[in-house]
C-alpha cells in the first residue's frame, strides 16, 4: 500500500468521525439544560423584570431569606401573594414551582425535604398592596 492510499483511508476515517459527531449533536439537541425554552421571550421582557426588581428596592419590600438545617424561612416585610420558582442549574428536571400566601407572621417556610441539597436559583414574584415585585437570588441547601 503506497502513501496515497493511506492518505485517502485516513481522510475517509476522519470524515466519518466528524459526520458521526454531528449526528450525535443533532440527536441530543432537545435535552440541553442550559437553554430555556422561552429564552427569547425572557430577553424581550428584561426591562419589565428589571422594573419589578427596582420596585422591590424602592418600596423596601425585599424578603429576608434564612437557610438552615431545617429548610428555608423567607420573611417578607408585608403580607404578600407569591409565586416561587426554584431552578436547579445541574438538572432542570428538579425545578419546583410554589404558589401561595404568607402566613400571619409574613413568612413562608420550606422544609428541607422539599428541595434536594445543593445549589438552587430562586425567583420570587410577589404582589403586595396591589403592586408587583420580583426578587432573584441563589441559595445553597445543606
pLDDT by residue (tens digit) across 74-98?
999 999 999 999 998 888 888 899 9
Q: Contact at 8 Å (CB) between 126 and 80?
A: yes
pTM above 0.75, yes or no: no
CATH topology of domain 52-141: Immunoglobulin-like (2.60.40)
pLDDT in tens, 12-52: 999 999 999 999 888 876 655 555 667 777 778 888 999 99
Q: What pLDDT band is residue 62 in, cutting at 50, 70 and 90? A: very high
The separation between CA 60 and the C-alpha centre of its own chain, rounded to angstroms, equals 25
Q: Contact at 8 Å (CB) between 87 and 74?
A: no
Scanning the structure block, which residue is given the C-alpha cell 426588581?
A: 53
Alpha helix segments (H runs only) across the chain: 3-27, 39-44, 46-58
φ/ψ bin of 104: left (φ > 0), alpha (ψ from -120 to 50), beta (otherwise): alpha
Amino acid at each position: 500500500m503506497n502513501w496515497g492510499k493511506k492518505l485517502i483511508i485516513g481522510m475517509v476515517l476522519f470524515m466519518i468521525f466528524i459526520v458521526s459527531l454531528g449526528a450525535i449533536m443533532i440527536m441530543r439537541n432537545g435535552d440541553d439544560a442550559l437553554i430555556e425554552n422561552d429564552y427569547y421571550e425572557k430577553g424581550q421582557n428584561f426591562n419589565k423584570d428589571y422594573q419589578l426588581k427596582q420596585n422591590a428596592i424602592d418600596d423596601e419590600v425585599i424578603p429576608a431569606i434564612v437557610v438552615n438545617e431545617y429548610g428555608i424561612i423567607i420573611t417578607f416585610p408585608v403580607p404578600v401573594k407569591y409565586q416561587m420558582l426554584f431552578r436547579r442549574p445541574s438538572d432542570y428536571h428538579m425545578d419546583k414551582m410554589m404558589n401561595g400566601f404568607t402566613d400571619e407572621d409574613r413568612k413562608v417556610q420550606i422544609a428541607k425535604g422539599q428541595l434536594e441539597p445543593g445549589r438552587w436559583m430562586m425567583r420570587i414574584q410577589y404582589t403586595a398592596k396591589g403592586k408587583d415585585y420580583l426578587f432573584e437570588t441563589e441559595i445553597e441547601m445543606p
